[in-house]
Amino acid sequence: AQSVTQLDSQVPVFEEAPVELRCNYSSSVSVYLFWYVQYPNQGLQLLLKYLSGSTLVKGINGFEAEFNKSQTSFHLRKPSVHISDTAEYFCAVSGSGGYNKLIFGAGTRLAVHP
Amino acid sequence: DAGVIQSPRHEVTEMGQEVTLRCKPISGHNSLFWYRQTMMRGLELLIYFNNNVPIDDSGMPEDRFSAKMPNASFSTLKIQPSEPRDSAVYFCASSPQFGGGEKLFFGSGTQLSVL
């Protein structure tokens, strides 16, 4: 079974500053890793994913994440945030192949201030 | 494409009443998922259908909850009788692949309040 821990429930940051949202996972098998974003009153949208290959993955809206197998982490980063990035961000993990339930973290609320 | 369509967007009901949430998946998607989001428990999978057949219902809380998928374009999640602790946002998601994987598309959710 897999589990996900998002280490920060809230992250306040000023506009144009860099940000890192932390995610750690645990699993006994190979995993797929995801970051989703949820804007107010909307469903979740896929931001980026790691399935295999390069450990640095780039997503939409200038976000990127790095898969670190030794540290079992998949932290999300953006070098310069905008007000419009204010949202809830979810890290998720699933086993690779077949039917593997997607397990979500508790979420991190990113608040970008002017 | 219109995306995953859920109705109603908001539902307010009294304890003991029956509640039915509806979902229309994206056309051509053969996998459908119901999720529940609460502050206490986060986002949790309730049930997963593939080709209209329930594959994983291990997340359904109790017998008061039931879900159906009578055809490829419609699913319902029913709570009878409803209780205040059922208050949450319920999301439907669909996918063109088995298990969802990296191709999971969410609806906008139904905000349920049970008084």
CA-to-CA distance for B5 and B114, rounded, in angstroms? 22
A104 contact B CB<8A: yes
The CA-based diameter of chain A, rounded to the nearest angstrom, is 45
Task: Phi first, then psi: give them for residue A60, nearest 5 degrees.
Answer: -80, 160
β-bridge partners, B101: none
pLDDT band of residue A98 (cuts 50, 70, 90) is: low
Chain A stretch 33-72, residues whose beta carbon is closer than 8 A to a beta carbon of chain B:
34, 41-46, 49, 51
* Phi/psi of residue A71, nearest 5 degrees: -100, 0
Tell me, what amino acid is at B113? S
How far off is chain A from B35, nearest CA to CA, in Å?
A: 11
* Residue B103: predicted pLDDT: 85
Q: Please give chain B's pLDDT, 115 residues, in tens.
A: 679 999 999 999 999 999 999 999 999 999 999 999 998 888 999 999 999 999 999 999 889 999 999 999 999 999 999 999 999 999 999 999 887 777 889 999 999 999 9
